[in-house]
């Protein structure tokens, strides 16, 4: 069978297995076993898969995943959201579209603390969206602002997806984590400018709020109460940037810091901490099982020789480097509308990694933009998981309205990606200090 036909068959078989509702890890295992049966005529090579799963599952790099998940669980279950909401609400001045700015800022902060876009979208949709609507804010613009802010969670560290991407692409996890800071902040500013302009053009979209006139003493008190939570982010990023700790060690420090702060200043109890650990174990089991079941997928592709043929075919194309970059980024953008983000990463990264090296792209720059593409997929109709997470807690908002609300922010994402492609130093500036 021709290499290109083999790749197409494998790709569509995997999509078909996903469509049946089969768990992702079982889909990869089934495809790997069928491929080995086809290539070797038996299951004698099954030890290859077993050894690959063992090596991946025992990698120390994977330890960062449960630690980052645990950090997010501690923050959400301890009630820290109310403290941070009051602080952000107090800092935003008496401006038009104030609550939109609060929504974007708070979603960005919690995204940075938890790394879960779906969790942030669900939390903001159930807590902040009713408040925005009760104050007369436009429903669609409110939904769009919340989804846009939540979609920054995989980009700004700590990010579980960045860890997974670093493992799959064999690029420094610390560099990928740090590289997401400036693009994430740039996106948040772009979202804020957009909602502020919409509010200035049409004041009915964003009425002024009486809470904006709260006394200075109350503002200062709210900010001071939330200030210690910044130590969580500082402890993680500071140790990584200073070269004192690896991402895994920094994540452990962040968890310890979160336990101390949330116990003293929030509502973290022993019962809630046990619940956090149980939830972390459940989520980590799912993510890790997918990881160890799918890494061997790239090895099977290598056995067929299809990967090398693909690299050879791509690099032999007489196309400008810019065109190649656009083509490589368009594919995940489109596919993420239909496929789970982690599943798509696992499918594409083994194919992309040798191509990225062969074309001479800076791997940190390329994979950071690739990660942003994955984030867009979470809010892109018709199957963005973050869209359904928010819709699930807003029963009176039609799904079609959620789809329409997020489209302008997807456009902003695309514009910022173009800016990052033209000016790669925005991505590479902070990693250069490592």
Domain residues of the chain, as ranges? 61-433
Confidence band of 307 (pLDDT split at 50, 70, 90): low
Residue 116 has what pLDDT?
A: 67
Relative orientation angle of helices 270-304 and 3-19, to the nearest 10 degrees: 150
For 350-371, give one letter per residue: b (16+ CB within 10 A) or e: bbbbbbbeeeebebbbbbbbbb
Per mean pLDDT, which of 31-45, 72-86, 250-264, 340-354 is the most reliable?
Answer: 250-264
Per mean pLDDT, which of 195-204, 312-321, 344-353 is the most reliable?
Answer: 195-204
pTM for the model stands at 0.75
Tens-place pLDDT, residues 105-132: 877 777 766 666 776 787 777 777 887 8
Q: What are 418's two structure tokens?
A: 């173009």
Residue 311 has what pLDDT?
A: 64
Tens-place pLDDT, residues 330-346: 888 877 766 667 767 87
Mean pLDDT, the chain, rounded, equals 81
147, 101 in Cβ contact below 8 A?
no
Residue 113 has what pLDDT?
A: 65
Intra-chain end-to-end CA distance of the chain, in Å: 46
């Amino acid at each position: 069978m021709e290499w290109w036909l083999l790749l197409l068959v494998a790709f569509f078989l995997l999509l078909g297995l996903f469509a049946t509702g089969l768990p992702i890890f079982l889909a990869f295992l089934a495809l790997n076993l069928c491929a080995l049966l086809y290539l070797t005529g038996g299951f004698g090579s099954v030890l290859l898969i077993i050894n690959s799963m063992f090596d991946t599952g025992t990698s120390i790099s994977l330890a960062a995943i449960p630690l980052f998940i645990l950090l997010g669980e501690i923050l959400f279950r301890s009630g820290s959201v109310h403290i941070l909401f009051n602080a952000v609400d107090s800092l935003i001045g008496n401006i038009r579209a104030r609550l939109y700015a609060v929504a974007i800022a708070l979603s960005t902060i919690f995204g940075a603390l938890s790394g879960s876009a779906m969790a942030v979208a669900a939390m903001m949709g159930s807590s902040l969206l009713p408040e925005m609507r009760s104050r007369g804010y436009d429903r669609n613009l409110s939904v769009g602002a919340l989804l846009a802010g939540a979609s920054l969670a995989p980009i700004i560290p700590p990010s579980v997806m960045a860890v997974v991407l670093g493992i799959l692409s064999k690029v420094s996890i610390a560099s990928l984590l740090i590289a997401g800071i400036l693009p994430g902040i740039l996106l948040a500013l772009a979202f804020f400018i957009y909602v502020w302009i919409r509010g200035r053009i049409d004041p009915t979209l964003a009425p002024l709020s009486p809470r904006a006139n709260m006394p200075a003493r109350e503002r200062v008190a709210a900010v001071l109460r939330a200030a210690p939570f910044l130590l969580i982010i500082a402890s993680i990023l500071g140790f990584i940037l200073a070269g004192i700790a690896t991402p895994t060690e920094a994540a452990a420090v962040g968890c310890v810091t979160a336990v101390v702060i949330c116990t003293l200043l929030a509502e973290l109890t022993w019962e809630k901490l046990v619940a956090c650990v149980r939830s972390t174990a459940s989520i980590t089991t799912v993510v890790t099982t997918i990881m160890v079941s799918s890494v061997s997928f790239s090895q099977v592709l290598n056995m067929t020789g299809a990967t090398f043929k693909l690299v050879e075919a791509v690099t032999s194309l007489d196309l400008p480097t810019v065109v190649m970059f656009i083509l490589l980024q368009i594919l995940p953008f489109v596919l993420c509308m239909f496929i789970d983000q982690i599943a798509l990463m696992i499918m594409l990264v083994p194919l992309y990694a040798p191509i990225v090296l062969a074309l001479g792209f800076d791997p940190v720059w390329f994979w950071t933009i690739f990660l942003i593409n994955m984030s867009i997929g979470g809010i892109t109709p018709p199957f963005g998981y973050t869209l359904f997470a928010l819709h699930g807690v807003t029963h009176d908002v039609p799904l079609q309205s959620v789809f329409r609300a997020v489209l302008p922010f997807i456009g902003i994402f695309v514009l910022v990606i173009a800016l990052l492609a033209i000016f790669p130093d925005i991505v590479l500036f902070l990693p250069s200090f490592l």
